[in-house]
Amino acid sequence: MVRGHGPARGVRHRRLLRAGRPLPAGRPDRGPHPVRVRHGGTSRRAAADRADGREARRPAARGRRCGGRRGHRHGHRRGRLPGDRTRRAGAALRRRDRRPAALSGGGGTPLIPPPLVPYRCHAPVRSTIVSVPISAPSSLPGLFREVARLHPGRTAVAQGERRLTYAELDRESDGLARVLRQRGVAPGDLVGIVNERTAAFPVGVLAVLKAGGTYVPLDPAYPTERLLHMVRDAAVGLVVGDASALPEQVARDLTAVGLGERAPADEDEAAPGPEDAAYVIYTSGSTGLPKGCVVTHGNVLSLIRGALPLFAFGPDDRWSLFHSTSFDLSVWEMWGAWAGAATVVIVDQEAAQEPARLLRFLQDEAVTVLNMVPSVFQHLVHAHADAGAPELPLLYVVFGGEAAQIDVVRAFVRGLGAPPRMVNMYGITETTVHATFKEFTPEELAGTGPATIGTALPHLRIDLRDDDGKLVPEGEPGEIWVYGAGVAHGYLNRPELTAARFTAAAGDPAEETGYRSGDLARLLPDGEMEYLGRNDQQVKLRGFRIELGEIESVLRAHPEVREAAVVVEGTDTDTRRLLALLVPARPGTRLDPAGLRAHAATRLTTYMVPHRFEVVGGLPLTPSGKLDRQLLQKAVDQRAAARTGHRA
């Protein structure tokens, strides 16, 4: 990491504090802390998706200026570890300017009050709406039960012609949860769940949580050795779903419970609390073995309470469930929808793998909320352009998982007469999916500047710190440290790594525990952050520390470049050089090295400008759609070794 300067006299240092009102003292994940989400107007779904009754309406706050970037500082408490295509799509397009109203019960008390932020406002504001405090659910099943009680007839899950209402999903998951308890699942137990793209799959997720268990997603597409490590590390003995889809070596020692199994009602019911683990998701580890991140019910509830007020979602929305449950964006896709009584639309395997089919799926299913990794979204953009840039029912596109590619976003919105709202959310599994919010303005989408990741979500705080844990000045690169109610428990069975990453900064006199992300950003004059990449992407050439992510960000801002990756080629100290691998914005385009070098030199120091530029057809991606840097560097090294051997 580029070492920033410690606090110096006369230099203004800025923390990215959470905005909005303070969380209840002592328990940031509980108490009368209202959740806000948009409620829409007339239903645009097929009859099976219509509401079961009328909803109380309240106008959204309008005409207020964005402001109040700063807020109250707080710590966090760490708990214990344990239909008709044309009609539907057309109706969705006509509903673009829906006015939010409160999602409420029969007495008019809001369960989920309206959003804090009016349209085109890009920072948390102090709303004029007065919310009635409610007894907030303390667990995810508690939240779902409350929504199901208020809106039993609304569609919770849709897949093709199959639909489950909130009442049906609540009842079906109760029956499966009883089976799990009868099979010995006790509060805190880790239960595997086989990922599949069916309407029955959310039944399994809810059932594990209702039984008091912690679900561990198992994706059959993963390599056998990776799955074996996950099952052994988590001591998984029981799996929900089709175990035959797993490799035989993995499945043979597991007890399987089918998604269709049910048991009659009984009085034995688990009641997980906010500090109980909800899921363990495995992410790549530097040792080569994946590490399991333990995320609690309270962590997810804090995300819902913190993030949803920044949007204008409503119960008429249709959220695509695009991602595998092994990727934490799926948590947001399910619970973001369910918290507002909206519909989760299961994306089938063919649509998930083929951009042209996904485009048709979005149209046929009238999807209004699409969450996607930017590197996957670009393929959808190309398919959209190839199809003649048809209008889409989308109201929101939300990016997560990696840095947004602003030129791809600009190309997409230029092709639409009524584009959706485009939101960039930086996030980490260890801080519960999302950590920042940035809605791109029309001016930004029409400009040429780089994308930013915005500001911290209201329930979090972000500091930018140097190697010594000191806050860096505005404009200087610093490591992202995240604090607040979204910070996870830690890593399963990895106490040393947990202590290293979930820790207090050496330069923090308050010794507040946060998560050090390993990601780099700089604070801009307007209070937003620019993402610069990973600090483990740092290299040292000729005595200079260089952040590869910073170089890539500059190269992606070039109008002729769609994707960029920078690696080091050469092994000897004297021959090591920076190589930029570039995917052109238009296939077949020849990129001018001199022009690229001149472009890079406008924002980078001389030693950071790549020595060589190479055009490639594409860059390797991981199963979750992120750039596979290890594979890329390995390919470059092998090519260099082959050339050396040939010369010898």
Q: Give the pLDDT of residue 218.
A: 96
Cα 527 to chain centroid, rounded = 22
Q: Give the pLDDT of residue 32.
A: 28
Q: How many domains, the chain? A: 2
User: CATH number for the domain including 401?
Assistant: 3.40.50.12780
Q: Are residues 342 and 214 in the same domain?
A: yes
Boundary residue ending a domain (462, 493, 523): 523
Boundary residue ending a domain (494, 523, 552): 523
Q: Give the pLDDT of residue 588.
A: 84
Give CA–CA dist 416/405, Å, rounded. Answer: 18
* Angle at the Cα of 283 from the Cα atoms of 382 and 213, rounded to 5 degrees: 115
Q: Are residues 480 and 616 in the same domain?
A: no
Boundary residue ending a domain (462, 491, 523): 523
Q: Are residues 428 and 491 in the same domain?
A: yes
Annotate 407-467 with DSSP letters as a single string.
Answer: HHHHHHHHT-SSPPEEEE----GGG-S--EEEEPPHHHHHS-PPP--BEE-TTEEEEEE-T
Contact 435, 460 (CB under 8 A): yes
The parts of the chain modelled with pLDDT lower than 50 are 1-135, 648
Q: Give the pLDDT of residue 22.
A: 29
Contact 576, 570 (CB under 8 A): yes
Closest alpha carbon to 601 in 580, 617, 632: 580
Q: Give the pLDDT of residue 606.
A: 79
Q: Are residues 88 and 131 in the same domain?
A: yes
Confirm whether 532 is domain-assigned.
Answer: no
Q: Are residues 510 and 562 in the same domain?
A: no
User: CATH number for the domain including 583?
Assistant: 3.30.300.30
Share of the chain above pLDDT 90, in %: 56
Longest dimension (CA), the chain: 83
Q: Is 363 exposed, middle or buried (0-12, 13-18, 19+ CB in 10 A)?
A: buried
Q: Are residues 442 and 553 in the same domain?
A: no
Q: Give the pLDDT of residue 646.
A: 52
Q: Are residues 373 and 482 in the same domain?
A: yes
Confirm whether 539 is domain-assigned.
Answer: no
Secondary structure letter of residue 328 according to DSSP: T
CB atoms closer than 10 angstroms to residue 620: 14
Q: Give the pLDDT of residue 19.
A: 28
Q: Give the pLDDT of residue 547.
A: 75
Q: Are residues 553 and 420 in the same domain?
A: no
Q: Give the pLDDT of residue 50.
A: 38
Give CA–CA dist 82/295, Å, rounded. Answer: 11
Give CA–CA dist 44/589, Å, rounded. Answer: 43
Domain span at residue 305 reads 47-523
Secondary structure letter of residue 475 according to DSSP: T
Q: Give the pLDDT of residue 53.
A: 36
Q: Are residues 313 and 361 in the same domain?
A: yes
Q: Give the pLDDT of residue 61.
A: 30
Confirm whether 528 is domain-assigned.
Answer: no
Give CA–CA dist 458/628, Å, rounded. Answer: 32
H/E stretch holding 298 reads: helix 297-307
The pLDDT tens digits of the residues spanning 347-388 come to 999 999 999 999 999 999 999 999 998 878 989 999 999 999
Confirm whether 40 is domain-assigned.
Answer: no
